[in-house]
Amino acid sequence: MKWSEISIHTTNEAIEAVSNILHEAGASGVVIEDPMDLVKAWDTTFGEVYQLNPDDYPEEGVILKAYMPVNSFLGETVEQIKEAINGLLVYDIDLGHNTVQISEVNEEEWATAWKKYYKPVKISERITITPTWEEYTPVNTDEIIIELDPGMAFGTGTHPTTVLCVQALEKIIQPGQRVIDVGTGSGVLSIAAASLGADSVDALDLDEVAVKSARLNTKLNKVHSKIQVSQNNLLDNIQEQYDVVVANLLSEIIIRFTDDVAKVLKPGGAFITSGIITAKKDEVKQSIIDQGLEIEETLQMEDWVAFIARKPYE
Ligand SMILES: C[S@@+](CC[C@H](N)C(=O)[O-])C[C@H]1O[C@@H](n2cnc3c(N)ncnc32)[C@H](O)[C@@H]1O
């Protein structure tokens, strides 16, 4: 499996916003390279007026590196990333050099680079996410451990949008419920729902790499008998009714399919959604309200928002 390393030369000021864009685009981890690597020492030993060569100018800024699987969406994703970064100019964020470079790395290089940063993390009252290669002993008796092999799909389980969805699931899931997880990635939200007592979960993703990764993770966590993983575009051709719809997707995509969410929810059912950057909060909220759902709670972590909305009884 090939990974593509996307290197973005930007400024300190833009680190957070560009990292958010990379995470929103599904990057598995963002690494910030030491800006000091870019600084070259000036040799003025003889007090001469230096003949400046543009190539020797002290470089400023930072390099952000993100990793994405090489698949048919990559070109489009990189274009979207570039567009979103350029969009930051509207907020007067200095982007510095603003260059984007792409190179291929192999799976082993990626895995060793990334595994260093990935440790067990308690992400909600009851749920701790641990990578498959770490030994972890539960601290509390009612603690739920989710073991994840993030593999090639989005989702180490620790991104703020995932954390917000897990926290919302913990509030909402009742034993026996039927759940659908749109954009399942590594399967983390489906595993959380099943572990919290849901009876059956349909886990959907457009990306076949995610489908494989989710299947593997549901087995690892021994909840595969409750979770059906399939390749599907959003809620296309879904005819069943659900107690809970959970979707951690880009704001633009959420807005596009809230009408289908309202259709598949049972009266009294809940819609949990994140992937919403604060700037897009109102737009997403309005699209949910326009479909007759009621916003029950808004959760926030760093620059990210999640909504819990409810379909009223007739
Ligand atoms: C931000 S990740 C969320 C992964 C996981 N649910 C989590 O919370 O960590 C979004 C996922 O949605 C999937 N996705 C994007 N567009 C989709 C679509 N139109 N239909 C289904 N899945 C989609 C992506 O492949 C990706 O796995």
**Do 149 and 262 share a structural domain?**
yes
Q: Is 230 in the pocket of ligand 1 (CB under 6 A)?
A: no
Q: Is residue 41's pLDDT more than 60?
A: no
Question: What are the pLDDT digits (tens) for 239-273?
Answer: 999 999 999 998 989 999 999 999 999 999 999 99
Domain boundary among 115, 150, 177: 115
Q: What is the CATH number of the domain that holds 72?
A: 3.30.70.120
Rounded to whole angstroms, the Cα distance separating 309 from 34 reads 42
Side-chain-side CA neighbours of residue 122 (13 Å)? 9
Instruction: Determine the residue type at 247.
Output: A
Q: Percent of the chain scored above 70 by pLDDT?
A: 83
User: Residue 226 and residue 220: Cα distance in Å, rounded?
Assistant: 13
pLDDT at 68: 82
Our count of domains for the chain comes to: 2
Q: How confident is the model at residue 27 (pLDDT cuts 50, 70, 90)?
A: confident
Looking at the fold, whether 303 and 199 belong to one and the same domain comes out as yes
| Same domain flag for 41 and 162 | no
> What is the torsional sign of CA 213, 214, 219, 222?
positive
The CA–CA distances, whole Å, from 168 to 92, 146, 156, 165, 266 equal 34, 16, 18, 5, 18
Helices 74-86 and 15-24 pack at an angle, to 10 degrees, of 150
Q: Are 44 and 84 in contact (CB under 8 A)?
A: no
> 3-state class of 55 per DSSP?
helix
88, 115, 142: which is the final residue of a domain?
115
* Pocket of ligand 1 contains residue 183 by CB under 6 Å: yes
Nearest of 259, 270, 266 to residue 241 by alpha carbon: 266
- Residue 48 class from Cβ within 10 Å (0-12 exposed, 13-18 middle, 19+ buried)? exposed
What pLDDT is recorded for position 113? 63
Give the sign of the dihedral formed by CA 67, CA 6, CA 18, CA 38. positive
- pTM of the complete model: 0.71
Ligand 1 lined by 131 (C-beta under 6 Å): no
Percent pLDDT > 90 in the chain is: 48
Q: How confident is the model at residue 1 (pLDDT cuts 50, 70, 90)?
A: low
Q: Which residue has the higher pLDDT, 193 or 55?
A: 193
Residues 104 and 156 in one domain: no
Distances (CA, A) of 160 to 75, 157, 210: 26, 9, 19
Q: Do residues 38 and 136 share a domain?
A: no
- Which of 68, 71, 207, 238 most suits a substitution to test ligand 1, by most atoms within 8 Å of the C-beta? 207
Res. 31: pLDDT tops 90: no
- Answer yes or no: do 88 and 72 share one domain: yes
Q: Are residues 297 and 156 in the same domain?
A: yes
List the structure tokens of 105: 């790395």
Q: Give the span between the Cα atoms of 135 and 122, in whole angstroms.
A: 14
How many CB atoms are located within 10 Å of the residue 130 CB? Answer: 19
Give the number of other CB atoms < 10 A from CB of residue 46: 6
Same domain (yes/no): 68, 189: no
Task: Return the number of other C-beta atoms located less than 10 Å from residue 23's C-beta.
Answer: 21
Local structure of residue 100 (DSSP, 8 states): E
- 8: tokens are 């973005």
Residue 78 sits in the same domain as residue 166: no
Tens digit of pLDDT for each residue in 81-103? 999 999 999 988 889 999 998 88
40, 189: one domain: no
Both 102 and 131 in a single domain?
A: no
**Domain closes at, from 115, 131, 156:** 115
Q: Is residue 127 within 8 Å of residue 144, measured between CB atoms?
A: yes
Residue 295 is part of a domain; what is its CATH number?
3.40.50.150
Strands 127-131, 2-10: pairing is: unpaired
Is the distance from the beta carbon of residue 14 to the nearest atom of ligand 1 less than 6 Å? Answer: no
Q: Are residues 107 and 130 located together in one domain of the fold?
A: no
**pLDDT interval class at 55 (50, 70, 90):** very low
Domain that holds residue 159: 121-310
The response to whether residue 211 sits with its C-beta less than 6 Å from ligand 1 reads no
CA 92 to ligand 1 center in whole angstroms: 30
Q: How far is the CA of 170 from the centre of ligand 1 (A)?
A: 20
Q: Where are the alpha helices (DSSP H) in the chain?
A: 15-24, 74-86, 107-115, 160-172, 188-195, 208-220, 251-264, 281-290
